[in-house]
């Protein structure tokens, strides 16, 4: 993140402005990715009018960056009306799609509306691997064709590649494909539980050994020695917030449910029952999330990784305690540095049975 | 000179400073209070000199010549980045998303 954007984020945080919003327009999808954290049914999506009202409210609240996602957002017949409305309200618009429904007319609209970025997940440069993950034969070819089409229309495209056991060995191939198409790529080894708490999909996570291998790849992390170092913990770190969830970022489901983040399923309100402003300002859950500083975390605040850890409060919440550690991030810290995190160290007897002794004199 | 805001950019007022993102270049701009006042007043149909007199000199402690010189430089810089559009005639034919929100649905 650039210094100016960081400064804008810091000011937005101080002013409690929801600078960035992730809005899922639908959970319906035309792919069936093995690691997806959503169901794919329609439980009563927001109508176009409800979405329009929400966009008006978000613009009023100061939101600048709006991500439209899903599910596959282009499955909604009113997707382009919503995108157009969003741009008329001067949001910086990002769209997450698998590209299967993007042809020349859709690419032209995304260009004409000034969409800032279209993001697509590409799991592998090999069809048998990518299509095996999406469970749709031909999906790699169609997504890659959409990327090339969007690029031809001058639309900014980025590739996201979640790393799983199935595609771990293929990220160099994806990066080469991305370079050939002139698009950026982000590699991410994070696989989260389903939004309903089902952890069965975590079996797709890469092994600790593979995680270590990723963190030793200088083409990904830069200076490996620097990346692997434990950084010191000071008072500024302990007074900092874990992440932007609930501070300048928020997630809204296709049904109007508001959560601090996509992977932080703490219900904070619903825009069908309350105004956006009342949820954002008054929700006790959001206020609680906002109140948590790193120093308040009983285990993580005294962990050697406190300053360098990517601890996700949402994953901690899904493990049962938003003040606790996130085991996935403990594993990342261990793989990155080789140092066992506090949460995984055995309790010492002195912690179990404590004796206080004071010499009071005679 | 007549000046209009490009409909291609994203913008939001953060307290009294306008934050602008250009999707084409991914560049971020932050305008101070005076720049934000000019930005908000630009409508494509009012001469820049009138906006400077009515919106800047009337609100900020600055004489017209100084304000006009700064405003012209400000407009030129943002126009070079495609953030603003300038013309010698009123700008009325820019494709405006604001006026066309009903068409896509």
pLDDT at A196: 84
Q: Among B4, B5, B6, B10, pick the best mutation site for testing chain A contact (most A Cβ within 10 A).
A: B10
Look at residues A211, A177, A185, A206 and name the one whose alpha carbon lies nearest to residue A35.
Answer: A206
List the single residue in B with minimal CA-CA distance to A49.
Answer: B105
- Provide, as residue numbers in chain A, all residues whose Cβ is less than 8 Å from the Cβ of B30: 4, 7-8
Look at residue A354 in the predicted model and tell me its pLDDT. 54
**Average pLDDT value for residue range A156-170:** 96
Cβ of A90 within 8 Å of Cβ of B15? The answer is no
Looking at residue A240, its pLDDT comes to 87
When CB atoms are compared, the residue of A48, A80, A92 closest to B10 is A92
- Across all residues in chain A, what is the average pLDDT? 92
Angle between helices A139-152 and A127-134 (to 10 degrees): 100
State the CATH class of domain B2-104.
alpha beta
Domain borders along chain B are 2-104
Percent of chain A with pLDDT over 90: 81
Instruction: Say if residue B19's pLDDT is above 90.
Output: yes
What digits encode the pLDDT tens for the residues A48-91? Answer: 999 999 999 999 999 999 999 999 999 999 999 999 999 999 99
In chain B, which residues have their Cβ closer than 8 Å to the Cβ of A113? 97
In angstroms, the separation between the Cα of residue A261 and the nearest Cα of chain B is 22
Distance, first Cα to last Cα, chain A: 63
Per-residue pLDDT for B97 more than 50?
no
Distance (Å, rounded) from C-alpha A317 to C-alpha A193?
Answer: 11
pLDDT at B101 over 50: no
Instruction: Using the predicted structure, report yes or no on whether residue A361 has a pLDDT greater than 50.
Output: no
> Cβ separation of A59 and B12 shorter than 8 Å?
yes
8 Å CB contact of B103 and A59: no
Q: pTM value?
A: 0.90
Residue range B20-36, pLDDT digits in tens? 998 778 899 999 988 99
- Residue B105 to residue A59, Cβ atoms within 8 A: no
Mean pLDDT of chain B: 85
Contact (CB, 8 A) for A165 and A201: no
Task: Tell me, rounded to whole angstroms, the distance of Cα A18 from its chain centroid.
Answer: 16
What three-state secondary structure class fits B24? Answer: coil
- Average pLDDT (A251-271) is 96
Of B10, B15, B28, the CB nearest to A90: B10
């Amino acid at each position: 993140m650039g210094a100016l954007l960081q400064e804008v984020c810091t000011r937005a945080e101080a002013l409690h402005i929801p600078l960035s919003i992730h809005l899922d327009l639908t959970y319906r999808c035309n792919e069936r990715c093995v690691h997806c954290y959503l169901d794919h049914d329609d439980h009563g999506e927001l109508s176009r009018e409800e979405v329009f009202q929400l966009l008006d409210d978000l613009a009023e609240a100061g939101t600048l960056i709006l991500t439209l996602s899903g599910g596959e957002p282009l499955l909604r017949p009113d997707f382009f009306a919503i995108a157009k409305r969003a741009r008329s309200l001067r949001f910086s618009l990002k769209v997450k799609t698998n590209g299967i429904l993007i042809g020349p007319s859709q690419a032209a609209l995304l260009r004409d509306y000034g969409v800032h970025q279209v993001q697509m997940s590409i799991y592998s440069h090999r069809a048998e691997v990518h299509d095996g993950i999406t469970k749709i034969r031909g999906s790699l070819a169609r997504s890659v064709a959409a990327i090339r089409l969007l690029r031809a229309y001058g639309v900014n495209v980025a590739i996201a590649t979640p790393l799983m056991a199935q595609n771990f060995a293929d990220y160099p191939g994806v990066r080469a494909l991305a370079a050939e198409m002139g698009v950026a790529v982000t590699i991410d080894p994070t696989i989260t539980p389903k939004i309903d708490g089902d952890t069965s999909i975590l079996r797709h996570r890469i092994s600790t050994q593979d995680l270590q291998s990723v963190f030793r790849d200088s083409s990904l992390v830069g200076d490996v020695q620097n990346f692997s170092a434990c950084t010191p913990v000071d008072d500024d770190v302990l007074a900092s917030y874990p992440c932007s969830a609930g501070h300048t970022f928020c997630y809204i489901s296709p049904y109007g449910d508001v959560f601090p983040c996509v992977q932080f399923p703490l219900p904070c309100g619903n825009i069908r029952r309350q105004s956006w402003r009342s949820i954002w300002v008054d929700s006790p859950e959001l206020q609680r999330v906002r109140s948590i500083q790193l120093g308040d975390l009983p285990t993580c605040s005294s962990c050697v990784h406190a300053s360098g850890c990517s601890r996700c409060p949402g994953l901690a919440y899904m493990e049962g305690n938003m003040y606790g550690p996130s085991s996935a991030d403990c594993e990342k810290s261990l793989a990155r540095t080789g140092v066992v995190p506090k949460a995984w160290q055995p309790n010492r007897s002195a912690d179990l049975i404590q004796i206080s002794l004071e010499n009071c004199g005679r | 000179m007549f000046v209009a805001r490009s409909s291609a950019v994203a913008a939001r007022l953060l307290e009294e400073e306008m934050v602008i993102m250009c999707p084409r270049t991914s560049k971020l701009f932050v305008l101070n209070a005076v720049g934000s006042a000019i930005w908000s007043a630009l409508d494509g149909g009012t001469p820049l000199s009138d906006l400077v007199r009515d919106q800047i000199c009337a609100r900020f402690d600055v004489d017209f010549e100084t304000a006009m010189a700064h405003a012209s430089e400000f407009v030129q810089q943002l126009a070079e980045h495609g953030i603003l559009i300038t013309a010698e005639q009123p700008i009325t034919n820019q494709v405006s998303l604001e006026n066309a929100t009903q068409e896509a649905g």
